[in-house]
Each structure stands twice: as C-alpha cells, then as structure tokens.
Amino acid sequence: MRTRFAPSPTGYLHIGSLRTALFVYLAAKSMDGKFILRIEDTDQSREVSGAVENLIKILDWIGINFDEGPHIDGGFGPYTQSQRVEIYNKYIQELLDKDEAYHCFCTPERLDSMRKEQQEKKQAPRYDRICRNLSKEEVLGRLSGGERYVIRQKMPLDGEIVVHDELRGDITFKCADMEDHVLIKSNGIPTYQFANVVDDHLMEITHVLRGDEWIASFPKNILLYKSFGWEAPKFAHLSLILNKEGGKLSKRQGDVAVEDYRAKGYLPESLLNFCVLMGWHPKDDNEILSLADMQEKFRIEDIGISPAVFDVEKLDYFNGYYIRQKPLEELVALCKPYLAENISKTSEERKKRDDFLKKVVALEQERMKKLSDIKEGTEFFFSEIEYESELLIWKKLTKEEVKNNLEKMAELLNEIQEGNWIKTSIEERVMAYLKAKDLKVGDYLWPMRVSLTGRKASPGPFEIADVLGKKESLERMKNAINKL
C-alpha cells in the first residue's frame, strides 16, 4: 500500500489541502502503507520560492510525517515533477509510438477562433481534432520545420467508459463528451493529467485520494493507464469543503492558510481533529481524536461523499479543549511569544517573580480559544491600567459610597500577611466580612475588580488580586480611591 500527497506549491498550505494530506496519510497508516510527498510544479507560472520547504515545515509542525519525498529518498525519486521531464519525454514517446497520442500544430489563434465559432453555434468548446489524422510524413516535415506543437491524447470517439471510485462506485462517462486533451504543452512540460499518471505508476502508488474537482479527469486518467497497459491504482475522490453559507472556501473570505491559523495560536492537535471530521466520522461518535486514535479508526471506505462544512466555531471548540488539556508549564511556553510585548512593558520586580506568568496563564487557560487570546485577555496584569472613574460605580451607588467601600476593602486586604496572599484566603476574608455585616456583594466586589483591572469584564477580583500580589493590588485600589 502506497499513497501520495501531491500538492502544487503555492507558498502556503490551504486548510482543504491539509484535510487531503491528513486523509492520504491516514489511509496509508491505517493499512501499514507508505506515505509519499510529490511536488507537482509543472505549472511554472505559479512557482513560489521556498514553497516546498515551507510546506514540509508546516506539515512537520502539524505532525504529519512522510516516508518518502524530496527530503527523504525512498528510491522512487526525483519527487519533484520539474526534475522528471526526461522521464515524461520517454513515456510520451511510447504513447506516440503506440498511436495513442499525436502532435497537434494548431496555433493559439486558430484554437481561439475555433472556440469562438463553437460558442456562436452553442456547441461545447472542444478541440476539433484537425491534427489527429495528419500523415506521418506531414508530422515529421512540420517537426523538422521547427513548428510549435503540443501532444494530445487520442480519445475513443464513441462508446462509454466506466470508472470505479472507492467511495462512489462506478461512474460512467460518454467518450464523445471528452476532448483530445493536451498531455505535453508547447514548452515541452507535461500537463497534470500526464505527469500525474506517469508518476503514480512509476512511484507504485496503490491508492489515490484527491479532491473531487478531479472527477472530470478521472476517465482520461484511466484511459491513459489503458493506453500504457498499466494497472491503475484505486481512486477515492474527497468531497469539497464548503463555507457555512454553502459557497467555496476562498482566500478572500478569511483565513484558509494553515500558517495563519498557526500564527493565531491554533494547536496542531486541534487543526488535525477539526480536519479529520470534515468528511469522515468515527463509528463510536467520539469526536475527540488524537492522531494515534485517527490512525487506528480511519478506513478509506468510511469517508463520506457529501460536501463537508468548514465551521470555524468547531475549530475554536477543539482548540479551547486542547488548550485546557495542556500541562501549565507547556502552555506558558506556548503563550510566551504572544506575551512578549506585554512582558517587555512590565516592571522588573514582576518579571523576576517566576510564578507570575504561570498564574497569569492559569487564569486564562479555561477561557482561551486560541493562544493569541492571552495577549488581550491579560494585558492589565502587565502595565498601568487606564479607565474612566465612572466604571467603578456599581448600579445606584454614589461616588462617595463606592469610595468608602473601596477604602474598607483596602483596609481589610492590608491585614492579610504577604505570605498568606492567595486567592482562597483573600476570598475568605472579604466574604466573611460582607456576610457578617450583611452587605451586598456587588457593592464591594465590582469596584474592587474594576480597580484591579480597569475593565468591565474580567476574571473575578480574588484570583486577580492573587496574581497581582499584595503590593500591586493595594496600589491599584489606592489609585481608584484617588480617582473618586
């Protein structure tokens, strides 16, 4: 069993391609097979420098590893199509010799006017096969005269072809609907249709999983295998991924690059878990899946064929889940790059407190949907806070009352020993007081919390006071009192 992921290097990894890569990888791993990376870069107008290195890097970060590819020789290389042109030349010659392909000398101008004419006559645009029956002598003459040409596949003129998709069963195509498409372009470079078949054969690929946009090419591919007399691999076409509105996922509508998700602080395990469910579902309905779980449970035949829906809220759900599962030390390390700017703004004293970052991160761990949330959510811990004094006012209280309440709280907190300054003891102290005097909780805790954070919404006052430490908490409360 051998599968391959065969991307065209575009400079970033599309989230849909990640889904394809994952399914291809899982197909191989679920059957103890080999997983191969092949770079399909024959469309040179799209070549982007560094794209292959980036691709390997991001897949490596995700945890999808190859057995063979441009970076790991498995004896089937080169694994990059632009380095295989000689191989394609040899095989196209074989097809020409077998009379399964032919030279076409039609100029782009002629093809244009042909298409226009077909459009006017409301016919399907299709090459009219004018070069299909040129005599050998004429072809040789025109070749030696240096005329530009492409090489086309000689398709059957009538009848039907039935192809078998592992997920959809048999699919029938009418040969009359298929044109003699180009196998080798006028610059000598093969098209996807040709290079892909030659490579899958030579690389001994047994299972092809690819997007369903290639279903239209499927009969052409199978006919090529037949022309060569090769056995075709098994094919499974993966359904399209649609956005929530039912449209195509496009770069314009937001992030489709896995690199962008990484930068925002989505974890590899979340992206994998999210992607695997776009078109596949575990039989036991347990949707939380590690890569190892997926390897164990995934079967090609269980892939669905209806379009998958891209739901970013689901991705956020998984990411929140995996963030909560992280050991704190690890999460702190993951959050650090997002906190770098905040850390640079904070006092030397706080920087030295080695539990400070841990406490900040622990406080957000439950809430975070992505690592980047840590920055905005915890900014008030690191630098001076600014807010309007009105924010300190709880409901119908007057300024005077709020001031008194804050003074009382500060007095109470000041009595707590530095060494005893932890959330539970702060909370016990304050709550015992409020209860004993039968005071309303909001009248005291709202101003206290705002004085510590400067925000309308934040975690509760006791845990924040704990993280800030006694000195900083009392200073902030004093500042608030002075504002009133």
> Three-state secondary structure along 239-273?
CCEECCCCCECCHHHCCCEHHHHHHHCCCHHHHHH
Nearest-approach distance from CB 200 to ligand GLU, in angstroms: 8
Which stretches of 212-353 are assigned E, i.e. beta strand?
Answer: 234-238, 241-242, 308-309
Residue 476's identity, in one-letter code, is R
Of 25, 17, 21, 38, nearest in space to 203 by CA:
38
Which residue shows structure tokens 């044109």? 179
Which of 196, 378 has the CB closer to ligand GLU? 196
Which of 13, 392 has the CB closer to ligand GLU? 13
Which of 9, 459 has the CB closer to ligand GLU? 9
If DSSP codes are grouped into helix, strand and coil, which group holds residue 207?
Answer: strand
Nearest-approach distance from CB 199 to ligand GLU, in angstroms: 9
Q: List alpha helices for 74-191, DSSP H.
A: 85-97, 108-120, 136-144
Query: What is d(CA 320, CA 49) in angstroms, rounded to the nearest whole number?
Result: 35
| Residue at shortest CB range from ligand GLU | 210
Nearest-approach distance from CB 187 to ligand GLU, in angstroms: 18
Is there a catalytic annotation at residue 251? yes
C-alpha count within 13 angstroms, C-beta hemisphere, residue 394: 18
If DSSP codes are grouped into helix, strand and coil, which group holds residue 387?
Answer: coil
Which of 7, 265 has the CB closer to ligand GLU? 7
If DSSP codes are grouped into helix, strand and coil, which group holds residue 428?
Answer: helix
Nearest-approach distance from CB 461 to ligand GLU, in angstroms: 54
- Between the alpha carbon of residue 407 and those of residues 66, 368, 399, 404, 411, the distances in Å are 64, 33, 12, 5, 6
Nearest-approach distance from CB 211 to ligand GLU, in angstroms: 6
Task: Give yes or no for a contact between 448 and 408, defined as CB atoms under 8 angstroms apart.
Answer: no
Query: What is d(CA 1, CA 13) in angstroms, rounded to the nearest whole number?
Result: 25
Scored b (16 or more CB within 10 A) or e, 420-441 reads ebebeebbebbeeebeeeeeee
Query: What is d(CA 22, CA 425) in angstroms, rounded to the nearest whole number?
Result: 49
Which of 183, 402 has the CB closer to ligand GLU? 183
As to burial, measured by CB atoms within 10 angstroms (0-12 exposed, 13-18 middle, 19+ buried), residue 306 is exposed
- Secondary structure element (H or E) that encloses residue 41, with its range: none
Which of 7, 33 has the CB closer to ligand GLU? 7
Residues facing 241 on adjacent strands = 308
Tokens of residue 293, six digits: 């779980």
Which of 43, 302 has the CB closer to ligand GLU? 43
Determine phi and psi for 306, rounding to 5 degrees. -80, 155
Nearest-approach distance from CB 8 to ligand GLU, in angstroms: 4
By the criterion CB under 6 A, which residues form the site for ligand GLU?
6-8, 40, 196, 210-211, 214
Nearest-approach distance from CB 192 to ligand GLU, in angstroms: 6
Determine phi and psi for 259, rounding to 5 degrees. -60, -35
Which of 40, 165 has the CB closer to ligand GLU? 40
Residue tagged active-site, from 98, 116, 174, 251: 251
Displacement of CA 295 from its chain's centroid (Å): 19
Which of 235, 380 has the CB closer to ligand GLU? 235
Displacement of CA 365 from its chain's centroid (Å): 23
Nearest-approach distance from CB 6 to ligand GLU, in angstroms: 4
DSSP tally for the chain: helices H, then strands E: 20, 11
Catalytic residues: 251
